[in-house]
Copies of this chain bind each other. A is one copy, B any other.
Amino acid sequence: MNEPVNRIEPRSGVALELAKGETLIVSDPDGGQVSDLVCYGADDVGEVISNGRTFDYEETIALTAGNRLWSNRSNPMLTIVEDTVGKHDFLLTPCSVDTFRHFYPDKPEHRGCFGNLQAALEPYGIGPDAIPTAFNLFMNVPVDGRSGGIEVKPPLSRPGDRIAMRAEMDMIVGLTACSAYASNGGSFKPIDYAVQPA
């Protein structure tokens, strides 16, 4: 990346503003690390990224370069313009204190991506109930087409892998370095991002 690179420390999250035409580049510096992404219309945060609308219009649950991510109002929000991994998840919600209690009862509680997104988005007037199913970058969740069963496996991303997404409207983005054990192959690593001008 030629643009300044920002680092999201392990198990944390940020919010940022993205103008229409700018490209958000998210990279996995160490490999094997998930980053949860949510986004909202800057003019009206009632407009939000929607997995259901995206699956409907893109006719696939496997989103990669060339696919668009759609809002609940049927507008394209982001276009994936580059993707060196090709495996992301748009089925699962951000990990949270509740998912930690459910899946890791013996581990210390953590507010997870959900709590990190909630804290990062609060200054924009976006409350916790408005956090939808996230687009989980680098998250590897194979679906068994016959049984419907899903499994959370370690990401396929290697050090330096990245995904670039062009904003199709002015927006507020929430972005994390994911906090859950299974999603990240058992260790917590940072996530880097940069914003390329239009």
Contact = CB atoms under 8 A, between A and B. Distances in A.
Interface residues of A, number: 41
Contacts of A61: 91, 143, 148, 150
Interface of A is mostly: loop
Nearest to A97: B74
Interface in A67-103: 72-74, 91-93, 96, 98-99, 102
B91 A55 contact: yes
Nearest to A98: B74
Interface string A106-145: 0000000000000000000001010111100000001111
Contacts of A72: 93, 129, 131-132
Given A61-B91, A72-B129, A73-B129, A56 B149 contact: no
Interface in A39-66: 46-48, 50-53, 55-57, 59-63
Nearest to A95: B56
A116 to B, nearest CB: 16
22 contacts: A46-B127, A46-B129, A47-B129, A48-B129, A52-B91, A52-B134, A55-B92, A56-B93, A56-B99, A59-B149, A60-B147, A60-B150, A61-B143, A62-B147, A62-B149, A63-B148, A72-B93, A73-B129, A74-B96, A74-B99, A143-B148, A145-B146
Interface of A: 46-48, 50-53, 55-57, 59-63, 72-74, 91-93, 96, 98-99, 102, 127, 129, 131-134, 142-151
